[in-house]
Amino acid sequence: MQDNKIEMFVVSDSIGETAELVAQAAKIQFNDSVGAIRKFSFVLDKEQMDEIVELAKERQCIIIYTLVMSEEKEYFKQIAEENNIIAIDLLGPIIKPLEELTGMKPKREAGLNRRLTSYYFDKIEAIEFAVKYDDGKDPRGFKKADVVLIGVSRTSKTPLSMYLANKNIKVANLPLVPEVKPAEEIFQISHKKIIGLTNSPEVLNNIRRERLKDMGVRSNSSYADLDRILKELEYADRIFEKIKCPVINVSHRAIEETANIIISIISQNNK
């Protein structure tokens, strides 16, 4: 017995991700009344279009298309109409008003959106970099990084590293502990790409107490001891002074606010 469900064809001169997402969003509104979504990618010539329309004629079908090249787009629209097939131009109603408002002609080049995904891959690379060089695990990353964050524990080094990585910035970070001599690499790179992070003793004390509670550790651990925290902060200040790096106090600052300050510093240093 033939399935009478409506099918959706997605036709694109590139991968077709945009049209497929729209088709999925529409389909989900109709429970099981709409059947399969079939995608046709890299449709660049009229012969391919003829084959798709012939296939659509054999079934109950709606076509969603993202074709940007004028001649091919008009041809596809025409043959769909001639064969009484519902075909929806997804980009046309957006491109035309933009053309009128900007006074510019669209490029009409297939796959431009796909080329832009290089930004996405750069972001993934930056995130992987932040994970690899988090917490001083490999000091070799300091020389490769766009920025290196240094500071005592609980000064938001890792959250800031991940936030900045999502902005395509490669970040390494190094915890400062009085008993552990910093890796020599931190003194071999330009102070302009190092940012010191500090916090108020009271805020650190509260944060660390909560951290110990979450870990099920007794709150009288030296990790949250105020005298110990003061000793760590004094040690960090000496390192900051030795490196001559800018220092940001993160107490009462949101991650986004601190990140924007870091980005501003990086931008100024790169001028």
Residues annotated in a binding site for ADP: 151-158
Ramachandran quadrant class, 48 (left: phi over 0; alpha: psi -120 to 50; beta: rest): alpha
Ramachandran quadrant class, 122 (left: phi over 0; alpha: psi -120 to 50; beta: rest): alpha
The SS3 assignment for 177 reads strand
Listed residue (142, 235, 154) closest to 191, CA to CA: 142
CA dist 159 and 202 (Å) reads 20
Q: Are 186 and 145 in contact (CB under 8 A)?
A: no
Q: What residues are paired with 37 via a beta bridge?
A: 8
Measured N-to-C along each axis, helices 157-165 and 118-132 cross at an angle, to the nearest 10 degrees, of: 160
Q: Which residues are annotated as a binding site?
A: 151-158
CA dist 34 and 24 (Å) reads 10
